[in-house]
Structure 1
Amino acid sequence: MSYKHNDLLAMRQSYWGDEHSERVKNEKQYFQQILNECHIFTEANLEDAKYFFFSLPSIIIVKGYALGFTHSLVKNMILDFVTAHKVELSQRQIMKIKFRI
């Protein structure tokens, strides 16, 4: 694993493990909402949201960390990602995490 991969994986794990921040709780619900609205899953649960979060490209993770995942710029990036990977997401395929910073 590369240095960059370790840092981003640590960011993902730290974010997902945060159970005290209201912002993080709301964003996790937002991920579920996106999955439902885009018809990826019929009733997305927290595990579905976690799978989705860990599938997001690094650029979305970094910008989401900085601006918040519900910021309009990040929302648009997430929706573009969902649109491009709808089939893979609905089948819960393991996607290669892209590093583009």
Structure 2
Amino acid sequence: MAVKIRLKRTGMKKAPSYRVVVADARSPRDGRIIENIGWYNPRVEPSKIVIDEEKALRWLNNGAQPTDSVESLLKRAGILDRFLQEKAAKKTAAEA
């Protein structure tokens, strides 16, 4: 089962906000989700990003693939850098 971390659109017409969710890659954009891990509001200045770091890291370690837009949000929140550092540390520990 391919699992993606992606955005689920919420809000009114022409006033979008998004939830950052973990979902099966085959389910529709606003369909069934596995877990809600945060939200993103692009309408405020600066845009507001709230992602549960612990949940996001757990899903990334379990092999969930972020979409391009979620990957940029994770970079802006600093979560992706932490994930890559932990991954590199595990790799060097395994080699030693």
The TM-score with structure 1 as length reference comes to 0.25
Relative to its length, the structure with more strand (as a share) is 2
TM-score between both structures, scaled by the size of structure 2: 0.26
Larger Rg: 2
